[in-house]
Amino acid sequence: MLSFGILGGTFDPVHFGHLRLAEDAYEALNLTKVILLPVGHPAHRKNPVVDAESRLKMVQLATGSNPYFIVDDSEIYQPQKNNTDIFHHNNKVFLPTREIVKHTNYTIDSIKLLGHRIKEKYSKHFCSLVWIIGADAFLNLDTWHDWKELFNYCHFAVAMRPNYDLALTKMSTELGQQWCHRLTHLQDFKTGKIKETSGKIIPFTMTQLDISATNIRERLKNNLSIRYLTPESVYIYINNNGLYK
């Protein structure tokens, strides 16, 4: 079975914590590809500081050289209404023009869309989607729109993150129930014992990097260095564009 990881985030800005999370998930879960999905307008947290196009650009710069990372911009751009067809003219292909998404993004919609696209592309294979998530974000999963329905479309791979204890006592009753019901050993997933294409919660350990976008933004505001917290290309992009000042 092919398994596609999805790492959604504000990436405001992207940093080595995100990249290691994606890389560790790829390796630990034996994933086919990891899709990085920058959100345009998140539903369950306040709006990002920097505009969606710049955050997308930084994720593209950070991941460009990795052959198994894909950056998906479907939460940021959508085909313009009344202009959704691909057409050919003078041996050239014209793609539908696109516009910036202005509405709130819901993970449930994005996961359905990605699932649909992946099925179309890899129709010969059995595919599963794995939403990759840090422990901090997982503890708030029950605040997401239609969160229980997500289990019908993907598994959750939950990474241990510094300072975030994944104890049952930290979860709401409902989230704790889902955790107990769906908890699956990494090894069972990795070795293909799990035949279901969604609905499991798979904890895994990752390289511990105590880096957060909040801390990076604070450092920039205070004119402190952010070098080596994020790839050089992102560091240069932030400097050149005077972001987060």
Residue 231 binds to ligand ATP (criterion: CB under 6 A)? no
Scanning residues 142 to 201, which ones bind ligand ATP (CB under 6 A)? Answer: 159, 161
**3-class DSSP state for residue 81?**
coil
Whole-angstrom Cα distance, residue 112 to residue 141?
A: 17
Site string for ligand ATP, 116-135 (x = CB under 6 A): -----------------xx-
Whole-angstrom Cα distance, residue 20 to residue 3?
A: 18
Question: Shortest Cβ distance from residue 17 to ligand ATP (Å)?
Answer: 2
Residue 209 binds to ligand ATP (criterion: CB under 6 A)? yes
Residue 21 binds to ligand ATP (criterion: CB under 6 A)? yes
Task: Please report which helix (H) or strand (E) contains residue 15, including its range.
Answer: none
Residue closer to ligand ATP, measured from CB, 12 or 200: 12
CB 4, CB 129: distance < 8 Å: yes
Whole-angstrom Cα distance, residue 172 to residue 174?
A: 5
Residue closer to ligand ATP, measured from CB, 11 or 189: 11
**Residue 3, beta-bridge partner list:** 128
Q: Which residues bind ligand ATP (CB under 6 A)?
A: 9-12, 17-18, 21, 133-134, 136-137, 159, 161, 209, 211-214
